[in-house]
Amino acid sequence: MFITFEGIEGSGKSTAIKRLKDWLQEKGQGVTLTREPGGSRLGRTLRSILLDIGNNDLTGETELFLYLADRSQHVHQVIRPALDEGVGVISDRYADSTVVYQGYGRGLDPKILHQLNDVAVRGLWPDLTLLFDLEPEIGLKRAMTRNLQDGTCASEGRFEAESLAFHTRVREGYLTWAAINRDRFRIIDAAATPDEVFEQVRAAVADVFSIA
């Protein structure tokens, strides 16, 4: 069982991921939670480079190859070994983030990005990808409130500091990419209440993995 969560900043993925883990464990399915960037030891260093607002001079290609390097380590050291042991994996972001942020967001070719991803993950694609869909205005507001509550500055991170136009391209890119890959994507209405959002997640997972 390999499930990925995708969506813009502030779409409520992390809350739903924790609830899904608890629910799956109640059903007897062991799961491990992980995320990108930063799911492996090397990845944690790459994450701090990628999200550091001081690194706003990275070229789009540098950014791309750092995300791909993070993903390759993550698959090799964390995801594949867990799946081989029969442990389910839930990842907060995965390869689709690259197609959408570096492709639809930054303007690199999504088809080439998909091929590079396939090399990085050695053909390992999720069974199910849940896209948390939300208007970027709402997502960005939520992300800023969360950062303030965490005690970090309101616009922490290179992506949260991006323009609304960028996040609108990302949101639309996700919807386009989900339509192209409709066999594995399910769209979650992330504007709903946390309980309603979780219910949509639970129903999709129960359906795809035939859990009663």
Size of the site for ligand TYD (CB under 6 A): 13
Could you tell me the smallest distance in angstroms from the CB atom of residue 9 to ligand TYD? 4
Only one of the segments 21-29, 96-104, 174-182, 186-194 lies at the binding site for ligand TYD (rule: CB under 6 A); that segment is 96-104
Residues 150-169 that bind ligand TYD (CB under 6 A): 157, 159
Could you tell me the smallest distance in angstroms from the CB atom of residue 97 to ligand TYD? 3
C-alpha distances in Å from residue 119, one per residue of 84, 90, 92, 122, 182? 20, 21, 20, 5, 22
CA separation for the pair 26, 18 (Å, rounded): 13
CA separation for the pair 176, 32 (Å, rounded): 29
Is the four-CA dihedral 9, 11, 15, 21 of positive or negative sign?
A: negative
CA separation for the pair 5, 3 (Å, rounded): 7
Could you tell me the smallest distance in angstroms from the CB atom of residue 3 to ligand TYD? 15
9 contacts ligand TYD (rule: CB under 6 A): yes
36 contacts ligand TYD (rule: CB under 6 A): yes
Q: How many CB atoms lie within 10 A of CB 22?
A: 10
Residue 211 backbone phi and psi in degrees, to 5: -100, 130
Could you tell me the smallest distance in angstroms from the CB atom of residue 193 to ligand TYD? 20
92 contacts ligand TYD (rule: CB under 6 A): yes
The residue (of 37 and 136) whose beta carbon lies closer to ligand TYD is 37
Q: Which of 74, 93, 169, 171 binds ligand TYD (CB under 6 A)?
A: 93
Residues 129-148 that bind ligand TYD (CB under 6 A): none
- Give rounded-to-5 percent helix, strand, coil for the chain: 60, 15, 30
Smallest CA-to-CA distance from 160 within 175, 151, 170 is with: 170
Q: Looking at 74-159, which runs of residues are DSSP E strands?
A: 88-92, 128-133
97 contacts ligand TYD (rule: CB under 6 A): yes
Q: Which of 3, 16, 37, 174 binds ligand TYD (CB under 6 A)?
A: 37
Residues that bind ligand TYD (CB under 6 A): 9, 36-37, 51, 67, 92-93, 97-98, 101-102, 157, 159
